[in-house]
Amino acid sequence: MKISNICITALLVVLTAHALQAADKTTWQTDWESHNGDDGFTTECRVHSTDIKQCIFTTTTNTPIAALANAVTDVNKFTEWAESVAVSQRLPEFESGEESVVYTEYSFSGAYDRFAVTRYDTEQFDEEQRIRVSFKTIDKPGLNPDLRLVRFPLMVGHWEFTALNNGQTKIKHKSFTLPGGSVQKTLSYFYNIAYVDASYDTIRNLIEFANSQPYIDSQWAWKPKAQKDENKNAAIANMTDDNG
């Protein structure tokens, strides 16, 4: 490679890095900051350009990792433990591979109710005894919810469970939701308070739910590496097909 080409390549890398940093500063008004959370929780939050918070909630529990992971991936039961979820219905006709696609409706006091269609993907890290369930809203045609419902423009994040050496399980929940409508435009302060409080309640509810049957006595089917690689390749192929 010629010296001039090397210089141009290096310059492009530097410019790209600066552009990404600038975009991140534009997207987020603040860096991650510790939040005065409830007892037993470590909480960090940052503020989006829309004034909406994104937070990471961390706690530990005596509930087994398998019980927590199996409870979270039982998507039709979200109404049993997730705060504000009024309807939860799996949509297998929109799924591919091992993902789950879920239609949910949310009920809020003082605001229009919301709905979302969300894809859930599960990853596991055997050596670390860690399971991550990621979620992100998607646009799917053919759904005709009540016209009084407002679609969530964005819901993204993950649940992460790690088995600790002392027999406990660490729970890490990261989430970011743009509520849309007048709530996002004028009521962000009150929405942020409700979002943080609801997250604490949701995590507590999940722990209680996971301690019930059949979850508390369930096992997690850890996949061998060959199977995980096959699933990963299939997921990449699906992404390629989606992007044309």
Question: What pLDDT score was predicted for residue 33?
Answer: 94
Question: What pLDDT score was predicted for residue 150?
Answer: 84
- Cis before 214 (ω within 30): yes
DSSP-assigned beta bridge partners for residue 147: none
Question: What pLDDT score was predicted for residue 26?
Answer: 61
Question: What pLDDT score was predicted for residue 6?
Answer: 43
SS3 at position 89 = strand
List the alpha helices (DSSP H) in the chain: 3-27, 65-72, 181-186, 188-210, 225-242
Question: What pLDDT score was predicted for residue 21?
Answer: 41
Check if the beta carbon of residue 183 is closer than 8 Å to that of residue 191: yes
Q: Which CATH number fits domain 29-242: 3.30.460.80, 3.30.70.580, 3.30.530.20, 3.30.200.20?
A: 3.30.530.20
Q: Which residues of the chain have pLDDT under 70?
A: 1-26, 109-112, 141-145, 182-185, 224-244
Closest CA to 55 of 189, 131, 157: 157
